[in-house]
Amino acid sequence: MAKIIPFKAVRPTRDKVSLVAARSYQSYTKEQLESRLRDNPFSFLQIVNPGYRFDKEISGEARYSLVRNRYLEFIEDNIFAQDENPCYYIYKIVDREHQVFNGIIAAASALDYENNVIKKHEDTIAYREIVFKDYLKTVGFNAEPVLLTYPDNAVIDSIINETHKERAEFEFTTTYRDTHYLWKVDNPETIEIIQKEFNNIPTIYIADGHHRSASSYLLYKDLKDANPDHHGDEDYNFFMSYLIPESDLQIHAFNRLIKDLNGLTKEEFLIQLDTFYRIENRGKIPYQPTKKHHFSMYLDGDFYSLYLRKTIYNIETSLDGLDSQILYKTILNPILGIEDLRNDQRITYINGKKDILNIKSSVDSGEFKVGFVMVPVLVEELKQIAEDGLKMPPKSTYIEPKLRSGVTIYEF
């Protein structure tokens, strides 16, 4: 049973929230980052990029300590304030394509992560887990929720819909034309109902944020071991999450670009592909696959459709049937010689929200030799792989919604 509890968030003041809220640090180009740091003194980026003040790149523990200092300054300057009582936070996003996401920001249990009540579908890199754990331990807060998904629940949906009738605590639109709304749920009876409903859900799934959740779990273990009076209710026993129903989860594919054909000519490459695929040259007309196990390939100015020969490829596990795994086992590894999907510099990933013509232009530029397009993973596939204890290949999913950092902050 999932333990999902309210918490006392540190939040920007209503008049500052649109200025504070920021995308994930890694999503900005160098030029975008420079512009926001220069022109917006209230951006959360000021906190996570403390070296900007000194015109110097700062890393490691020195950076973590300065991040902590900048955070405390935002509190001292009344840009941030903490709620007096534990709350759930209903959060709604309407993106520029009018896709609507509804969910609840709350604290999820690290013990549930350990006991596999919160299930994973991706591998994590141990080094990155430890680095972020050390960062969290020094700064003392988390500002970007892990995205969790749960089976649709009529009671929780009803509470969310009723809350929407009230004035939102926050309402702001980003430069990407996504509109964000936040409502604070502090009524004790409503809090009890929400908590009981989550407690009746046997399994919750990580949709996005595997490294963040793994790092929070490592932090929990460190602080638990260091606390002789540990009793299980300390803030470090939990990590901030955004929980949305499965029907609201939007999954896009991650497409692949490869820099060379592993020493093969175009003709040799196509002949080897023929072992596993029925191949049709579609010419200049972009081909977008619409079925599982169908792929689009762009090579040397032409689009191709690739249909998997099911009599040749054996599907024995839920992972075997995943298109990103099929692409790896039939083309990327045996023909193109790519073994390490995380670290091989010959492969690049483009999220499937971008037009298929991005694949074409990347290959036409000469930077890449071939591109592959897939259909998105289904929620049911994600869940089954998690249930089976298996792990997807890296960059199998591009999942929305993407929240802004700094809107709610969890201290421990």
Kind of pairing between the strands at 250-252 and 118-119:
unpaired
Note the pLDDT of residue 153.
98
Alpha-carbon Rg for the chain in angstroms: 23
Give the residue carrying structure tokens 């807060």: 141
The per-residue pLDDT for range 64-83, each reduced to its tens digit, is 999 999 999 999 999 999 99
Does residue 229 have a pLDDT over 90?
yes
- 274-279: Cβ within 8 A, 24+ apart: 275/309, 275/312, 276/308, 276/309, 276/312, 276/313, 276/330, 276/331, 277/306, 277/307, 277/308, 277/309, 277/330, 278/306, 278/307, 278/309, 279/304, 279/305, 279/306
Note the pLDDT of residue 99.
93
Note the pLDDT of residue 401.
94
Note the pLDDT of residue 350.
92
Does residue 399 have a pLDDT over 90?
yes
Spatial separation of the C-alpha atoms in residues 224 and 392, rounded to whole Å:
31
Note the pLDDT of residue 310.
87
Determine the residue type at 56. Answer: K
- Angstrom distances, CA of residue 159 to CA of 82, 90, 134, 396: 24, 9, 37, 33
Does residue 247 have a pLDDT over 90?
yes
What confidence category does residue 55 fall into, taking pLDDT thresholds of 50, 70 and 90?
confident
Average pLDDT over residues 370-396: 95
Determine the residue type at 71. Answer: Y
Note the pLDDT of residue 54.
87
Note the pLDDT of residue 343.
86
The per-residue pLDDT for range 130-163, each reduced to its tens digit, is 999 999 999 999 999 999 999 999 999 999 999 9
Does residue 25 have a pLDDT over 90?
no
Average pLDDT over residues 379-388: 96
Note the pLDDT of residue 334.
98
Q: What is the largest CA-CA distance in the chain?
A: 69
> How is 304-359 classified by DSSP, letter by letter?
EEEEE-TTTS---STTTT-HHHHHIIIIITTTT----TTT-TTEEEEETTS-THHH
Note the pLDDT of residue 56.
85
Domain ranges of the chain: 4-251+400-411, 254-375
What confidence category does residue 176 fall into, taking pLDDT thresholds of 50, 70 and 90?
confident
What confidence category does residue 8 fall into, taking pLDDT thresholds of 50, 70 and 90?
very high
Note the pLDDT of residue 258.
98
- Angstrom distances, CA of residue 330 to CA of 294, 322, 376: 13, 12, 18
CB of 318 within 8 A of CB of 392?
no
The per-residue pLDDT for range 332-368, each reduced to its tens digit, is 999 999 999 988 999 999 988 888 999 999 999 999 9
- Which is it for the CA torsion 206, 220, 115, 391, positive or negative? positive
Average pLDDT over residues 310-334: 96
Determine the residue type at 271. Answer: I
Average pLDDT over residues 156-178: 96
Average pLDDT over residues 290-302: 97
Least confident of 64-68, 354-358, 389-393, 408-412: 354-358
CB of 374 within 8 A of CB of 368?
no
User: What percent of the chain stands above pLDDT 90?
Assistant: 90
Note the pLDDT of residue 138.
97
- Angstrom distances, CA of residue 130 to CA of 9, 31, 34, 139, 211: 25, 29, 28, 14, 9
- 5 forms bridges with which residues in the sheet? 107
Cα first-last separation, the chain: 23
CB atoms within 10 A of CB 61: 11
